[in-house]
Structure 1
């Protein structure tokens, strides 16, 4: 290893194969400033994700699709307005997708680089990832791996530059994800 960072050839502590998302124990959350003085927190309830673990770190792939209409800020009227054509415009941008391009790190602290697409705009994004561990869960079947990931995007880079001054430019992302080990691993 070089500089305490695992190389692409480093073997992994996870079984090889396609790990499935445990949607009941996973969340895609965000925070954005409102009027520059307070934060609005929300989540997206419609999420599909997969984790592919190969023989080495260089083989790891993560992909996710988020249903933008599933936004939930705890206020139905606000959510309806945010979905409308003058804001997120879910008719034009029904989903956002993420595809990893590189994973590096070791122990509990990792970095995942990837591409986030919202509507027809794709931009690079980097997430700090904490590996929460691996545990046998007989009740839910098999072993589960837990991850927490954080990062941020700038709205204007995705063409979401509506309401400047009202809403902050930076959207902070916080993901809590559990994946279930492939059967027979």
Structure 2
């Protein structure tokens, strides 16, 4: 059974209430940033955890995600080591990036998720556009899966990440493709 509609008039959700664990093998955390202002460097973080709590109403739903900054992968090991160094991300003092939603809202196909993003000792509000991919019973494991894509951007200087001005862009675009499994 596939469904990708949410009835906002009654806040009836097509998801069973409870804690939906992440399907780690079918989820990804990606980003892109301008390099020299002329092209984009794209990458991902390969180590992350996320959880979805579905309540009886939309107001009772929440998402959390913790991303290991040391797991950066841009396809170039030397660049990844440099970005992880104390000169840039400083993953020894800022090992994780943590997101905790504070509100999920929307209707039809226009959804947003607002939350607090913490990098190191800086926490700032972030709003992500959310696309609900739907719900389906997996032919592989027989369990019900729900898919979401959340996209947004942050200004790195707002999180104290002021390295390499002119070399790297100020805006980092974020893309989260998450699949969760019914409890």
What is the TM-score when the length of structure 2 is the normalising length?
Answer: 0.94
| 1:153 matched residue in structure 2 | 154
| 2:77 matched residue in structure 1 | 76
| 2:4 matched residue in structure 1 | none
Distance 2:25 2:141 in 1: 11
| 2:163 matched residue in structure 1 | 162
Q: 1:107·1:131 contact (CA, 8 Å) conserved in 2?
A: no
Distance 1:167 1:140 in 2: 43
1:10 deviation in Å? 1.4
Q: How does 1:44-83 map to 2 (within 5 A)?
A: 44-83=45-84
Aligned pairs, number = 177
| 1:102 matched residue in structure 2 | 103
Distance 1:6 1:56 in 2: 9
The unaligned stretches of length 5 or more in structure 1 are none
1:106 deviation in Å? 2.7
Q: Secondary structure at the match of 1:125?
A: strand
1:139 deviation in Å? 1.7
How big is the alpha-carbon RMSD for the aligned residues of Structure 1 and Structure 2? 1.3
Distance 1:108 1:176 in 2: 17
Q: 1:108·1:132 contact (CA, 8 Å) conserved in 2?
A: no
1:166 deviation in Å? 0.2
Distance 1:19 1:141 in 2: 15
Q: Secondary structure at the match of 1:55?
A: coil
1:105 deviation in Å? 1.3
| 1:6 matched residue in structure 2 | 8
1:110 deviation in Å? 1.1
Distance 1:168 1:22 in 2: 32
The unaligned stretches of length 5 or more in structure 2 are 1-6
